């Protein structure tokens, strides 16, 4: 069983399906929380920071940690709830599992943060580098090439770095600002390059690295063979993408086809991207960049 304690950030928590959960809504003292859950067996306590009475006092966080193990807590907040200095104080107190969105909650559930993981949140916010994850959903959906194309368009006026995890495909672009690293090296690499404006991350097969991203773009090549191949591997593929930024890449679809795809998949296509000539400037890519607010 999971415990959910929510208040002002309930929309973040409710953006994902948390199964087998006891839900408490409102504002509570730590002693009240202890009284409610001390006799229960639970996997995780997912708590909205605004559900803690006097949450701006670090002693409230410390009291919480005195009776719930830190790896059991996922603390949910928004940038409006706490200052950067207070976020650092929370991390220094020993609470590392901090989520700003539903994806991060899901990631932290199976992969709790270390101190080094958590401090990335502080460093990233200090330097304002925006981290965009790009992930293939269907096989060979083109994340590697799309990152290269987006980077080439952005670097004319922004400082941009590209990173790929656990592969060496970037070497074929001969670009020193496209790094191939192991997933375990991502936190340190983000810290070292936090002076960038934008960092594009090819997530490949990683699930844990999503928690370092401000947002994630999921690529689907919307041909029948690619979709059917992927559905055979994971029949729940579309359901997992509900509410996410789904880009149809290398897409042959026209407007009517896109509507049919959305009806069949129960997904909303964020953008439809046809096959692009990577050697030329493309207004279609510029429009995607604009829509992503990059």
Write out pLDDT tens, residues 172-226.
999 999 999 999 999 889 888 888 999 999 999 998 899 889 899 999 999 988 9
| SS3 call for 247 | strand
Would you say the CATH fold of 128-291 matches that of 2-126? yes
Interacting residues of 5 by C-beta distance below 8 A, sequence separation 6+: 23, 24, 25, 28, 33, 45, 46, 47, 48, 51
**Maximal C-alpha separation, the chain:** 63
* Burial classification of residue 3, based on how many CB atoms lie within 10 Å of its CB (0-12 exposed, 13-18 middle, 19 or more buried): buried
d(CA 214, CA 244): 13
| Residues 126-142, mean pLDDT to the nearest whole number | 87
Please check whether residue 241 is in contact with residue 222, taking contact to mean a CB–CB distance below 8 angstroms: no
Pairing assessment for the beta strands 130-136 and 160-165 based on DSSP bridges: unpaired
pLDDT value, residue 38: 86
Interacting residues of 72 by C-beta distance below 8 A, sequence separation 6+: 42, 43, 44, 45
Residue 133 has pLDDT above 80, yes or no: yes
Region class of 250: left (phi > 0), else alpha (psi between -120 and 50), else beta? left
Interacting residues of 159 by C-beta distance below 8 A, sequence separation 6+: 195, 196, 197, 198
pLDDT value, residue 219: 97
Q: What is the assigned CATH class of domain 128-291?
A: alpha beta
pLDDT value, residue 128: 67
d(CA 126, CA 163): 20
pLDDT value, residue 18: 82
- The full set of domain ranges for the chain reads 2-126, 128-291
The listed range with the strongest mean pLDDT (162-176, 189-203, 234-248) is: 162-176
pLDDT value, residue 129: 82
Nearest CA to 115 among 93, 134, 142, 135? 93
Average pLDDT, the chain: 91
d(CA 87, CA 80): 11
pLDDT value, residue 84: 81
| SS3 call for 188 | helix
2-126 architecture in CATH?
A: 3-Layer(aba) Sandwich (3.40)
Going by pLDDT thresholds of 50, 70 and 90, the confidence category of residue 165 is very high
d(CA 134, CA 155): 18
């Amino acid at each position: 069983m999971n415990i959910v304690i929510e208040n002002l950030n309930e929309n973040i928590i409710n953006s994902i399906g948390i199964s087998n959960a006891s839900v408490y809504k409102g504002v509570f003292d730590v002693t009240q929380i202890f009284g409610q859950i001390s006799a229960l067996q639970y996997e995780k306590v997912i708590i909205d920071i605004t559900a803690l009475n006097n949450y701006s006092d670090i002693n409230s966080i410390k009291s919480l940690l005195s009776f719930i193990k830190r790896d059991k807590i996922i603390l949910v907040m928004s940038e409006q709830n706490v200052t950067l200095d207070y976020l650092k104080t929370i991390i220094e107190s020993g609470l590392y599992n901090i989520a700003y969105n539903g994806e991060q909650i899901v990631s932290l559930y199976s992969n709790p943060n270390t101190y080094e993981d958590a401090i990335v949140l502080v460093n990233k916010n200090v330097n304002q580098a925006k981290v965009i994850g790009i992930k293939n959903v269907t096989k060979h959906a083109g994340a590697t090439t799309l990152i290269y194309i987006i980077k080439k368009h952005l670097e004319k006026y922004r400082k941009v770095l590209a990173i790929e995890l656990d592969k060496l495909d970037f070497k074929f672009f001969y670009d020193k600002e496209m790094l191939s690293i192991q997933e375990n090296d991502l936190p340190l690499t983000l810290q070292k390059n936090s002076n960038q404006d934008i960092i594009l991350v090819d997530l490949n097969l990683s699930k844990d690295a999503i928690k370092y991203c401000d947002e994630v773009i999921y690529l689907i090549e919307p041909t029948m063979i690619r979709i059917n191949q992927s559905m055979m591997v994971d029949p729940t593929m579309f359901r997992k993408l509900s509410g996410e930024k789904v880009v149809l890449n290398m897409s042959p679809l026209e407007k009517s086809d896109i509507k049919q795809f959305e009806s069949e998949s129960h997904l909303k296509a964020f953008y439809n991207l046809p096959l692009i000539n990577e050697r030329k400037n493309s207004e279609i890519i510029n429009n995607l960049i604009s829509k992503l607010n990059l």
